[in-house]
Amino acid sequence: MKKRKNVTMQDVQRWIAQGLGQGEGSLYRPFFYVRDVPSRGRSRMVLGLKTGRVHHYLSDLEYACHLLAEYEPSVAGIREQFALLEWEETQEIADRFGIRHPIYPGTATPTVMTSDLVLSLVKEKRPSVAVVCVKPFSQVDPVNPKNSRTREKLFIEKVYWEKRGIPWQLLTEKEIPLVRAQNLDRLRVHMVAAELNWLDDHMESFLEEFNSSWGNDSSFLTILSRVAGRTGLSKDECSYLFGRAVWLRLLDVDLDARVIHHDMPVPRAQRREAHFV
């Protein structure tokens, strides 16, 4: 699909008929892909751990929220670039509050508004939905009058979800635990390395040896060397198991303290980190 230019009413109706921005699970298709629109920073395409499909994100902050959502046990599904349908509803909300509805550039065609992440949750066996909007603080700072238009569009989105009784939250880099997200990003490769799945049989012995070697003064590399010597695994194989153990919450690592480096001690969590949602 080419970048969307000169969008007509017929284009929008076709996209809606194709099911873009609708559905659930592995069959969900975002309303737009990274190739369709200009990105806000570095765009990303990433294979989802929970959905098994490729997710499309337009900024580092969106991707950080994806990582945090994947790490959250209560999150069962993630839908990005979710279309706010029916198409006419956001237009009606805008009219009611005297807000100019966004249009596609260079046209009079009303934009199909979207939410950055729609999360399917299961808490205490009860399913629910939560919506996350992600923006740099510089774009939503209420003190800056240049942000009034962005805040108007966010207000339309917020009202859309409030009508459905679904919680909506706006997150900026001030609220997103970026160190945690960076650690999860660095360790995520170990969750998708299917060729090393055979190492999972060694997880129990790895955890036993890692915990017994885990000291406040020992560097991560020193611990890996000890564990490798005791288990007969290589340091790379132990590093793989460490990454998986962190993602699976089998080790009480403080992911918010600092970015984990091989030449520094691994920070131990003194308390549970705050939930993302």
> Do 93 and 82 meet the contact criterion of CB atoms below 8 Å apart?
no
Active site residues: 62, 72, 116, 135
Q: What is the pLDDT of residue 105?
A: 92
What value does the mean pLDDT take over residues 241-250?
Answer: 97
The conformation of residue 105, written as its DSSP 8-state character, comes to T
Q: Indicate whether 85 pLDDT > 80.
A: yes
User: What's the chain's average pLDDT?
Assistant: 93
177-277 carries CATH number 1.10.760: no
Q: Give start-end residues of each CATH 1.10.10 domain in the chain.
A: 177-277
Instruction: Select from 198, 179, 277, 178 the least CA-distant residue to 244.
Output: 198
Strands 126-134 and 168-171: parallel
* Secondary element (H or E) of residue 80: strand 75-83
Q: Give start-end residues of each CATH 3.40.1350.10 domain in the chain.
A: 9-171
Chain-centre distance of CA 265, in angstroms? 27
Q: Indicate whether 49 pLDDT > 70.
A: yes
pTM of the predicted model as reported, rounded to 2 decimal places: 0.93
* CATH of region 9-171, choose from 3.40.1440.60, 3.30.70.100, 3.40.1350.10, 2.60.260.20: 3.40.1350.10
State both tokens at 102: 């966004």
Residue 14 neighbours by CB under 8 Å, 6+ apart: none
d(CA 148, CA 186): 36
What value does the mean pLDDT take over residues 234-238?
Answer: 96
Q: Scanning the structure block, which residue is given the tokens 């010597």?
A: 229
pLDDT tens-place string over residues 102-143: 999 999 999 999 999 999 999 988 999 999 999 999 999 999
With cut-offs at 50, 70 and 90, classify the pLDDT of residue 1.
very low
Q: Indicate whether 4 pLDDT > 80.
A: no
